[in-house]
Chain A
Amino acid sequence: MKTAEALSQEIAACRSIAESLDRRVTVMEVCGTHTVAICRSGLADLLGENIRLVSGPGCPVCVSSQGYIDAAVAAARAGLTVTTYGDMLRVPGSDMPLAAARGEGARVVTVYSALEALYYAEAHPDEDVVFAAVGFETTAPATALAVKAAAGGPANFTALFSHKRILPAMMALVAAEDLQIDAFLCPGHVSVIVGSEEYEPVAATGRPCVVAGFEPLDVARALRMILEQVRSGEARVENEYTRAVRPGGNPAAKRLLEEVFEPAQEYWRGIGMISESGLAPRGGFRRFDAAERHGIDIKEVPEPAGCRCGEVIRGAIDPEDCALFADRCRPTSPVGPCMVSREGSCGAHYRYSRRPA
Chain B
Amino acid sequence: MCLAVPGQIKSIEGETALVDIAGNGIRAMIALVPEASVGDWVLVHAGLAVTLLSEEEARETLELMQEKYSIEDS
Chain A residues packing against B (C-beta within 8 Å): 1-5, 7-8, 11, 31-33, 41-43, 46, 59-61, 85, 87, 112-116, 135-136, 138-139, 141-142, 145, 187-190, 192-193, 213-218, 243-244, 246, 250, 252-253, 256, 343
The residue from B50, B61, B71, B73 contacting A141, defined by CB atoms under 8 A apart: B50
List of A residues within 8 angstroms of B50 by Cβ = 138, 141, 189, 192-193, 250, 253
List of B residues within 8 angstroms of A46 by Cβ = 71
Chain B residues packing against A (C-beta within 8 Å): 1-4, 29, 31-34, 43, 45-48, 50-51, 53, 57-58, 60-61, 63-65, 67, 69-74
Tell me the smallest distance from the CB of B5 to a CB of chain A, in Å. 10
Bound together, the chains give a CA A253 to CA B61 distance in angstroms of: 22
List of A residues within 8 angstroms of B61 by Cβ = 213, 243-244
List of A residues within 8 angstroms of B69 by Cβ = 1, 3-4, 7
Given contacts A135-B1, A138-B50, A189-B4, contact A215 B32 (CB under 8 A): no
Main secondary structure of the interface of A (DSSP, over half): helix
Tell me the smallest distance from the CB of B9 to a CB of chain A, in Å. 16
List of A residues within 8 angstroms of B45 by Cβ = 138-139, 142, 189, 192
Given contacts A145-B29, A213-B61, contact A138 B47 (CB under 8 A): no
Complex: chain B residue closest to A86, CB-CB: B1
Q: Quick check: B53 and A244 within 8 Å, CB to CB? A: yes
Tell me the smallest distance from the CB of A118 to a CB of chain B, in Å. 11
